[in-house]
Amino acid sequence: MLGFVKSSLSRLAYWVNDRFPGIKGLVPKKLHRFVLLRVVGMNDQYEQMLRQNPERLFLQNEALPWVSASYRQVLFVGTASYTYQYEKLFADDPDRYTTIDRNPTTKVWGSKHHIVAPIEQIDRHRAPGFFDCIVLSGVLAYRIPAHGDYGLAAPDELRAMLKVLHGVMRPGGLLLVGWNLRDMAQSLAQLGLLEPYFVPTDKTPWGTRKEFPGDPHVFEFYERR
């Protein structure tokens, strides 16, 4: 019975959105999130991942709490229904936490200071040296459905993006990169893309790299030159 009610409410929510596409802009963010999470069930498909995925557990319970305590201005790249809770770590001062995503539909999951734009354009929205830390988790690689595998963007695109990130970070700032496959973590160095922008750093509780036994995800930590 509960499943039928939830399914009916979900269809109603989608119908209202399709019939009145501008209505979302009039709904308070907290209410909008409540509808998406509790009525539409947006996070149902991620429930197991949020409870068991070692990469997500590390990000939520270890990495981001440490980042929040160690860095003043933080940028988190990419927003989804399973990332909105990270802003609670900056509840002491929401102005310290910025999110960015190119997709306008994910704005509801963003922070108080959310930017709708590609990460390559962050320098149009923030001054040079503004951020102390930038978090890129699962952003630098894209999925190739036909092969069921991941691949990197073109080297020129990655180099241009790293240059932009370097520009909006203060010297000594932290770039936290999460990779979907640990072999990819070697790609930036092998392609010579880090120079002259970033160098690996061990100034974290986990050294320069965090791996998970039996899981392909890996995090690497870089310092802004």
Task: Compute the Cα dihedral for 42, 45, 51, 56 and give only its sign.
Answer: negative
pLDDT for the residue numbered 14: 45
Pair of tokens at residue 181: 């496959």
Q: At 97, give phi and psi (nearest 5°).
A: -120, 120
Q: How far apart are CA 24 and CA 108, in angstroms?
A: 9
Identity at 131, one-letter amino acid code: F
Residue 32 DSSP symbol:
H
Q: Which residues contact 150 (CB under 8 A, 6 or more apart)?
A: 141, 142, 143, 144, 180, 181, 184
Q: How far apart are CA 214 and CA 41, in angstroms?
A: 30
Is it the case that residue 90 has pLDDT exceeding 50? yes
Q: Which residues contact 9 (CB under 8 A, 6 or more apart)?
A: 39, 40
Residue 94 DSSP symbol:
G
The torsion of the CA quartet 72, 77, 78, 81, rounded to 10 degrees, works out to -20
For 36-88, what is each residue's pLDDT tens digit?
Answer: 777 767 767 767 766 778 888 999 999 999 999 999 999 999 998 889 999 99
For 104-117, what is each residue's pLDDT tens digit?
Answer: 989 999 999 999 99
Of the two residues 96 and 157, the one the predictor is more confident about is 96
pTM score of the predicted model:
0.81
Q: Which residues contact 38 (CB under 8 A, 6 or more apart)?
A: none
The torsion of the CA quartet 113, 126, 180, 41, rounded to 10 degrees, works out to 20
For 174-222, what is each residue's pLDDT tens digit?
Answer: 999 988 766 665 556 666 778 889 999 999 999 999 999 888 888 999 9
